[in-house]
Structure 1
Amino acid sequence: MKRGAVVGIVGGVVAIAAAAVGIWWFLSRPQTADAAAGEYLRALEAGDYAAIETMAASPLDDAVAAAFSGAESHITDPRIVKLDAGTDGEQTVVAEVVLAGDEHDLTFTLRSSDGRWLVTADSLAAVRIDTTLGGAPGGGDSAWIGGALVPTGADIAVLPAEYTVEAAPRGILSGSTTVPVSSDRGVQTVAIDTTLAPEATAAAQEQLDAYLDACAAPAATVPDHCGIRVPWAADLTSLDGIAFRIEERPALALSADGRSFDAIGGVIVATATGASRTGGTGAFTYRADDWALRGTVSFVGDEMVLSVR
């Protein structure tokens, strides 16, 4: 091989090696705070929770992910206004964004960690949801924000976005609103005026019917909290068991404030067996044409719960 060719090849190898060193140097440079801030804002704009999660300085709560997954809309047109260096290697970022058609200032903090800038937990926005039912404080102990079921009357951390807030349980309580949540407003309070949904009575009746079926199961004694009286002692000296037959279920009505129910107009037949007062074993049948139950209603999580008095 000619010497000139060898020199040319060696020169080419040196050039490639130099280029590789340049790429390595570029990729290994520490990330700048400005670049990290831009990356975070683009992830918020795209609704890219996976990218946001990788930039979090501490693990995000599952409710943050669920809420963001069901966000109504995300920020648009983000623009970094300034970065202020703080203590402990932190940078405070102020950005201008558009959310739900309005301009907002978005403030968040970056912390340096192993050559990367991560978003701190105190950069999350916060919302507090209060509900009323019938014009008074009440309703459920939970509400929906985006795709997350969260407690009412508490400060809930969420990512900046526009969210639909709904009363819970869905299908039982009606009431919703849409709210843009950003870090420039502190803790945002959202009030939902809730009402009983048209489907609430049918759902309550279904729950009560299951309870009535349990009340009407064969039993050794008269079941408690079932609205049933069986005067077996008038005919028997001792009771061996009772068999029930439901002829008509009590019809349930919810109170206007959703806190109680009345179920009336039921018909139930009970056959009691045991030692007859006239001797031997006897069976006697009793009929109640005014079977009724009453109780309270509560809304727990995404469920309605009836409690019979």
Structure 2
Amino acid sequence: MKRGAVVGIAAGAAAALIIGGSLVWWLLNRAPSAEDAARSYLNALAAGDFEAIEAMRATRLDAEAERILAESFRGAESFVADPRIEEIRSAQDTTSVRASAEIAGDRHDIVFVLAEDGAGWTLTGDYLASLEASAVLSATGELIGDSVWVSGALAPAGSDLALLPAEYRLEAAPRGLLSGTNSVALSNDEPSTVVLEASITPEAGTMAQEQIDAYAAACAQPAAAVPADCGLRVPWAADLASLTSVAFRIDKSPALVLSPDLRSFAATDGAVVATATGTTRQGSTGSFTYRADDWALRGSVSFAGDEMLLAVD
């Protein structure tokens, strides 16, 4: 009798062990719930884990919008904090989630929809935030530049940008040539519009002068004719019947000044010496030297992408 009792207890323990093992297997292999998926998305937002979010997205934007979405989020000023699920509503194969999180110190709603496709839960619907950003010149109030920096992404100004909830640093472009920064806390509870006030930086003037110096140096290369679009006037026809070549020496490069509205420039007070060689009216070879102390270059200024462009008239 005593031996049988021992055997019975052992058999019961084995049965309990088998049942417990089945429960562990079921817990490890059951499909995640909509709430699990919602928490995974919110945790990825908080961790700045773009790859995890990317794996949950059901649809894609066009290639340029995808670049902006990824680069801006990876370079975000800060990510959401203390995310909480506030409400979950399920209907057929979709689940609507209303959550909240702190973004840049303030609490914002984050709403999204999850769809069950048989393999798991995916983000669908309007889960992205909307931002329109542009820059105006503080001196005139006029729009300037065709792009803005949204954290790590150069994006078109004045366009509706689709971004993930986060805090983003906005900068006027070209960065370093135009000043003007701000930060925006974005969620998809409402669209955001930001207008940056920009002004020219000292570095921009320096770089513009360097461009003009390089352009002037290219204009002053030896040539068979006086180069066009260089502001150079060589009166060789007063002394030569025909021109064979002309050589230049720059004594002072034109000094550049940008207009207050940053739409044009004037580079003035340059000094250049030109030596023209050719055939004289008597039929011999001759060389004549001319000097100008009012050499000037003028043109337009534009800001495209992350560049400042000077176009000589």
TM-score norm. by structure 2 comes to 0.89
Partner of 1:229: 233
> Structure 1, residues 98-129: CA drift from partner, whole Å, max 9, x if none?
11111111111212223311113631101001
Q: In 2, Cα distance between the equivalents of 1:33 and 1:121?
A: 15
Structure 2: tracts of 5 or more residues without a match: 1-9
Partner of 2:51: 50
Q: State the one-letter code of the partner of 1:46.
A: A
Change (3 A) 1:15 1:237: farther
State whether structure 2 residue 299 is matched by structure 1 residue 299.
no
Change (3 A) 1:223 1:15: farther
SS at 1:243 equivalent: strand
Q: Quick one: which of 151, 155, 158 aligns to 2:160? A: 155
Change (3 A) 1:16 1:230: farther
Alpha-carbon RMSD across the aligned residues, in angstroms, is 2.3
Deviates more, 1:220-229 or 1:276-285: 276-285
Q: In 2, Cα distance between the equivalents of 1:21 and 1:298?
A: 70
Partner of 1:103: 107
SS at 1:227 equivalent: coil
Q: How does 1:63-212 map to 2 (within 5 A)?
A: 63-86=68-91, 89-120=93-124, 122-133=126-137, 134-185=139-190, 187-212=191-216
Partner of 2:292: 288
| Displacement after TM superposition at 1:50 (Å) | 2.0
SS at 1:244 equivalent: strand
SS at 1:108 equivalent: strand
Q: Quick one: which of 249, 255, 258 aligns to 2:253? A: 249
SS at 1:184 equivalent: coil
Q: In 2, Cα distance between the equivalents of 1:22 and 1:213?
A: 81
Q: In 2, Cα distance between the equivalents of 1:243 and 1:86?
A: 81
Q: State the one-letter code of the partner of 1:49.
A: F
Partner of 2:39: 38
Report the identity percentage. Answer: 51
| Displacement after TM superposition at 1:20 (Å) | 5.8
Deviates more, 1:286-295 or 1:113-122: 113-122
| Displacement after TM superposition at 1:146 (Å) | 0.8
Count of residues in correspondence between the two structures: 301
Structure 1: tracts of 5 or more residues without a match: 1-8
